[in-house]
Structure 1
């Protein structure tokens, strides 16, 4: 009995923050395998696999150590007109981390956790967002999205109005 208790005491425990950093690392690996976004120029890209539900990847900004991205199906929320689901992402090249900074899945973060949440609530919300992102990236890979299906969209034609097939034809 004492050897079991001693063995259990030696197993390190991972804090919620440590778990979150692990999610960031896993999501970086998933996105890098899927789209290699560090190599993409700023602009809009569509990934079409023939299922009628094209994926849109916006490379908002490329910096030396980070890339700002937005990932969405370009489906519109009927109440707000915003793409839903969508995720704003920050890719840290040097740390090999991918952080979902904002997700829109029917509601904004302020509606979910309030304007001035306690730190524990912020960490919990970030864990939920980044878990969602990891599952979404896995799903996209399973469906066949990837570098081979990604095409640039001509500037000025990238609306969220549901005309992704026309956009892909113009790319």
Structure 2
């Protein structure tokens, strides 16, 4: 019996931060497989599969090692006039990770959990956002969205407000 207890004590435990980093890596695999955003130029792209819910991918900025993105549906919130749902993403090309920095326009982490939250609350919030992102990207893939359905859109014909 003691030998079994000793064996289970040697199994390393994954911290919540480690779990979060794993989510970032999984989200990178899913998003790159879906849209290959690391290769897209700055601009707006729309994916339509004929279900009435077009997906909008905005490549906001490209930097040496990161790409800033916004993923949303072409659906406007009647109260704010902004796309809903909406997730702001940071793709780390060198680390092969994708982080949801905030979801929904104007709802940065400070708006949701306050200016000086304890670290555990920040990690919990990031876990929730990035779990949502992973499930959403997986759902989009199951609906048929992908590189083949993604087309660039000029600003004049963009379906949603920037």
- Could you list the runs of 5+ residues in structure 1 that have no partner in the other structure? 162-171
On the 8 A contact 1:24/1:130 being kept in 2, the answer is yes
Q: Determine helix, strand or coil for the equivalent of 1:134.
A: helix
Distance 1:104 1:8 in 2: 42
Q: Which residue matches 1:38?
A: 38
Q: For 1:18-37, list aligned pairs within 5 A.
A: 18-37=18-37
- After TM superposition, where is structure 1 displaced by more than 2 Å over at least 4 residues in a row? 105-112
- Alpha-carbon displacement from aligned partner over 1:84-120 (angstroms, at most 9, x marks no partner): 1000000000000000001118965444312322221
Q: Which residue matches 1:157?
A: 157
| Alignment root-mean-square deviation, CA | 1.7
On the 8 A contact 1:84/1:106 being kept in 2, the answer is no
The more displaced of 109-118 and 150-159 is 109-118
Q: For 1:1-171, list aligned pairs within 5 A.
A: 1-104=1-104, 109-160=109-160
On the 8 A contact 1:86/1:103 being kept in 2, the answer is yes
In the superposition, the TM-score normalised over structure 1's length comes to 0.88
The more displaced of 114-123 and 13-22 is 114-123
How far apart are residue 48 of structure 1 and its match?
0.3
Count residues in correspondence.
161
Distance 1:97 1:133 in 2: 13
Go from structure 1 to structure 2 and tell me whether the alpha carbon gap of 1:100 and 1:114 turns closer, same or farther (over 3 Å shift).
same
- Alpha-carbon displacement from aligned partner over 1:55-102 (angstroms, at most 9, x marks no partner): 000001111210000000022222212211000000000000000001
